[in-house]
Amino acid sequence: MTRRLLGIALLAGLTGVWSLLPPPARQLGSVPPPLGSPVHGVFHVHTDRSDGGGSIDDVAEAAARAGLQFVVVTDHGDGTRPPEPPAYRSGALVIDAVEISTNQGHLVALGLGEAPYRLGGDGRDVVEDVHRLGGFAVAAHPDSARRSLRWSAWDQPIDALEWLNGDSEWRDEPRSQIARLALTYLLRSPESLGRVLDRPDATLARWDALTAARRIVAVAGSDAHARLRLVGEGAQASRTDALALRVPGYEAVFRAFSIGLQGTVLSGDAAADSAAVLGALTAGRVYSVIDAAATPGALRFEASSGNLTAAAGDALPIDGPVRLQVRIHAPSTARIVLVQDGRRLEPVAGTWLDRVVEAVPAVYRVEVELPGAPGQPPVPWMLSNPIYVGREDPSGQAEPRASAEQSGAVTPLGADIAEWAIEHSEGSDAALDEGRGLSGGVQAQIRYAISGAESSHPYAAAAVPLPDGLAGFARLRFRIGADRPMRVSVQLRVPASETGERWQRSVYVADVTRDVSIDLDDLRPFKDTSEQLPPLDLVRDLLFVVDTVNTASGSSGLFWIEGLGGEVRSGP
């Protein structure tokens, strides 16, 4: 009797789990020739070089099993680790990139070589450094439930954003949905992961607003870790892999959704193919597919005007009527939606759209809807990047914030270097010398040695006394150089407590002395402050700080400053 009851209970349990299963992904067959041979891969993957659960070889093997041609690995780092050269592993092309932590969230840098110093600190500084070093800056997981991960520096000239992020999507789900995912994962892993995807309305609206001013590429980021921490986040979570499960697995994540490259052909040469993949991705010739709903999806989006043509990511000059054409490999129930300047136009059922639109400047992109797609609201099954109609230069960087004042008179500050002071942490050291710059002016030369014990937060700084504060000043001006590329944090200090309150702005320094101007309204709080902007009348010290945000522990070097002054605020 007991065995019979147990059998009935087991059958009931299995029946219950079976009823919860998401439908299997629809298999669409071969992609028709007009769409070419799609190149599909995944973007944003972590390995055991940072917080992932598997090796690069594990990732490549999983990508190959999932039928993907490439994978972009983005382990956490500060840019100083030389990237692995691109290579085919298990038949999948592996491209190495890096995810950098900033004060305003995480940033993925593509095409970045070995950085000469640590990249970190304010998001604006990291974006600036990535661009200086020839990289492509992608704002990571803007919808993350964790504030420290969520990109928030939207006023900075990023090149791309993640419109969808696999790690973020499950974090806002109710416990019932997470429990359902846990029950069905082993039976239909990709489809179970796909079920937690939702349409990120806020991020798509933000993207549409940004593309109104300049080109911003959107990409779906898998953010695969294959490592589920059992002890939560923080220090405990890194104690040992024994406290983590390798779920969701790489292959399951890779089969949930992917990115496709329009018009890209791979040759088998890793270096050339890596350049082709990154070239297509950074140009915006990339679309996203929710494979957990139907696979393989393919999309081609093109536009023409007169004799001119353009593909996704391109600008199309207007030379007569504008014709938009979309071809997709999809179920017959799919609907193609053109999005014009963020406004959804009337959907078209089927796998082909051919529409002539008004010959006026506008930004067009494509979403493909599929009945039964997961999410509330449903996530787009496929999503393209835009074509910028009537936009001559969609890739132009954002204009810098204009100053409200005209240039005012410059008042020398800290002219007597003998009054400057040296400050440093225990174990670090610094010294101050007076010299002459190339122009013959007085030059403050700061030699520093940063402690090798990073846990003690080592730093070295030169402190310039400002007994009268900076009331009435608009900006700081000075000339600065160093014996190597680095960053120096320029800080204002108010003696409000034992350690004081500080506001800072990091500046890039190289081996060529250069002029620097810092708008005082651009300084941001260093840690906790009572006010967002420094109370200039209460400022008593100007600091030039070298610390381990951008400088490796155990480092030593030299930087110099000359012509320090404050520009008086003019106008009302």
Q: What is the mean pLDDT of residues 518-531?
A: 94
Q: What's the pLDDT at 335?
A: 98
> Which tokens is 447 given?
């030699």
- Phi, psi dihedral angles at 538 (to 5 degrees): -100, -10
Instruction: Give residue for tokens 């997961």.
Output: 374
Q: What's the pLDDT at 198?
A: 92
Burial class (CB in 10 A: 0-12, 13-18, 19+), 376: exposed
Q: Does domain 35-292 have CATH number 3.40.50.920?
A: no
Superfamily of domain 410-568: Galactose-binding lectin (2.60.120.430)
With a cut of 90, say whether residue 71 has pLDDT above it: yes
CA dihedral 372, 189, 147, 235 (to 10 degrees): 170
Q: What is the DSSP code (8-state) at residue 414?
A: S
| 180-217 pLDDT, tens digit each | 888 999 999 999 999 999 999 999 999 999 999 999 99
> Which tokens is 58 given?
């594990």
| 484-503 pLDDT, tens digit each | 999 999 999 999 766 689 99
CA distance 402 to 417: 33
Looking at the chain, the whole-number percentage of residues with pLDDT higher than 70 is: 91
Q: What is the mean pLDDT of residues 104-108?
A: 97
For residue 469, how far is the Cα from the chain centroid? Answer: 38
With a cut of 80, say whether residue 398 has pLDDT above it: no
> Which tokens is 478 given?
């000075």
Tell me the CA distances in angstroms from 439 to 156, 435, 563, one per residue in order.
35, 11, 10
Packing angle, helices 175-184 and 2-20, rounded to 10? 110
Instruction: Give residue for tokens 């589920």.
Output: 228
With a cut of 60, say whether residue 560 has pLDDT above it: yes
Mean pLDDT over each residue of the chain, to the nearest integer: 91
What sign for the dihedral angle of Cα 178, 179, 180, 186? positive
With a cut of 90, say whether residue 232 has pLDDT above it: no
> Which tokens is 175 given?
């416990």
Q: Which helix (H) or strand (E) holds 348?
A: strand 348-349
CA distance 551 to 54: 30
Domain ranges of the chain: 35-292, 297-393, 410-568
Instruction: Give residue for tokens 């023409």.
Output: 304
CA distance 266 to 287: 17
**Which of these, 429, 407, 306, 396, lies nearest to 359 by C-alpha position?**
306
Looking at the chain, the whole-number percentage of residues with pLDDT higher than 90 is: 79
**Exposure of 519 in the CB half-sphere (CA atoms within 13 A):** 10
**Rounded (to 5) percent helix, strand, coil in the chain:** 20, 35, 45
**Which of these, 139, 132, 144, lies nearest to 160 by C-alpha position?**
139
Question: Is the peptide bond prior to 248 cis by the omega test (within 30 degrees of 0)?
Answer: yes
Tell me the CA distances in angstroms from 377 to 245, 322, 373, 374, 498, one per residue in order.
30, 31, 9, 8, 51
For residue 378, how far is the Cα from the chain centroid? Answer: 24
Q: Which helix (H) or strand (E) holds 322?
A: strand 322-329
End-to-end Cα spacing for the chain = 91
Q: What's the pLDDT at 238?
A: 45
Alpha helices in 21-135 (DSSP H): 56-65, 123-132
Domains 35-292 and 297-393 share a fold: no
Q: Which helix (H) or strand (E) holds 5?
A: helix 2-20
Tell me the CA distances in angstroms from 119 to 99, 388, 450, 527, one per residue in order.
10, 32, 17, 18
Q: What's the pLDDT at 532?
A: 94
- Classify 279 as helix, strand or coil: helix
| 430-452 pLDDT, tens digit each | 999 999 887 778 999 999 999 98
What sign for the dihedral angle of Cα 417, 422, 428, 429? positive
248 CB-near residues (< 8 Å, 6+ apart) = 185, 189, 193, 224, 226, 228
Q: What's the pLDDT at 391?
A: 83
**Which of these, 78, 84, 33, lies nearest to 55 by C-alpha position?**
84
Q: What's the pLDDT at 455?
A: 72
Q: What is the mean pLDDT of residues 229-249?
A: 62
| pTM for the whole structure | 0.92
With a cut of 90, say whether residue 462 has pLDDT above it: yes
Q: What's the pLDDT at 244?
A: 75
| 2-12 pLDDT, tens digit each | 655 455 444 44
Q: What's the pLDDT at 14?
A: 44
Q: Which helix (H) or strand (E) holds 207?
A: helix 201-211
Q: What is the mean pLDDT of residues 382-398?
A: 81
- Phi, psi dihedral angles at 233 (to 5 degrees): -95, 170
Domain spanning 297-393 has what CATH number?
Answer: 2.60.40
> Pairing relation of β-strands 410-412 and 387-389?
unpaired
Contact 338, 273 (CB under 8 A): no
> Which tokens is 1 given?
């009797």
**Which of these, 437, 428, 425, 371, lies nearest to 556 by C-alpha position?**
428
Q: What's the pLDDT at 10?
A: 44
CA distance 84 to 96: 6
pLDDT-derived band at 404 (thresholds 50, 70, 90) equals very low
CA distance 130 to 531: 30
